[in-house]
Copies of this chain bind each other. A is one copy, B any other.
Amino acid sequence: MSGMDKCKLMIVDDHDMVRAGLRTYLMLEPKFDVIAEASNGLEALRMLRNSAPEERPHLILMDLMMPEMDGVEATRMIMKEFPELKIVMLTSFLEDEKVVAAVEAGAVSYVLKTVSAEELIYALSGAVKGMPVMTADVSQALTRGLRQRTTQGADEGLTEREREVLLLIAEGQSNKEIAEELHISIKTVKTHVSNLLMKCELEDRTQLAVLAHRKGWVKTG
């Protein structure tokens, strides 16, 4: 896009009031034009698919935590179908893993919701050009998260079934309970657990449960 055009924005956040706040923020900068809003990732994706190319936004302000489809997953899918779009991730919390996941998914920038209007506009202006604008704490989280990833990177070598078992372990269930819940024998559960321990390089189920909670793989964590 040329420097004189208006930059078309899409806001994706499940909180009405956050969207309202963003709109007032963006009113300060006339070059940004909010042309669409969605309340979750899936809705955003559908809106993009159902719109003509010239109607699509240039930039998407995407919340990280949303129902239906979260920001990381939505970013991944949107970047696959519409790689020309720039996505800025917006979030309340600064979690190392999430920052890494967002950047890996294709987000240009990662902005905390504590930003002022000026800071946000600065970050968006950079993002339009594909330039990430990160505050010091975000970039620290990014490097910290990457370092953790490489040292204990056993994130996704897990089977679907193994992930199921892991989640149940993280709920505090015994092998017997897991076997009943999944309709398999205890022996099979033990096999899965052994494989999990081997892949994650841990020693017992308690450490698996701790890992799952630390990584945020379990809901009520």
Residue contact B16 to A116, C-beta cutoff 8 Å: yes
Q: Please report the total number of A residues contacting B with Cβ < 8 Å.
A: 38
Residue contact A172 to B15, C-beta cutoff 8 Å: no
The answer to the question of A205 belonging to the interface, with a C-beta cut-off of 8 Å to chain B, is yes
The answer to the question of A117 belonging to the interface, with a C-beta cut-off of 8 Å to chain B, is yes
Interface of chain A, main secondary structure: helix
Q: Which of A30-38, A101-109, A151-159, A207-215 contacts B (4 or more CB under 8 A)?
A: A207-215
Chain B residue at minimum C-beta to C-beta distance from A214: B220
Which A residues between 11 and 47 are near B, CB-CB below 8 angstroms?
A: 14-25
The answer to the question of A198 belonging to the interface, with a C-beta cut-off of 8 Å to chain B, is no
The answer to the question of A206 belonging to the interface, with a C-beta cut-off of 8 Å to chain B, is yes
Residue contact B172 to A206, C-beta cutoff 8 Å: yes
| Candidate in A22, A172, A220 with the most chain B CB atoms within 10 angstroms | A172
Interface of A toward B, CB cutoff 8 Å: 14-25, 65, 92, 113-117, 120, 169-172, 174, 202-207, 209-211, 213-214, 220-221
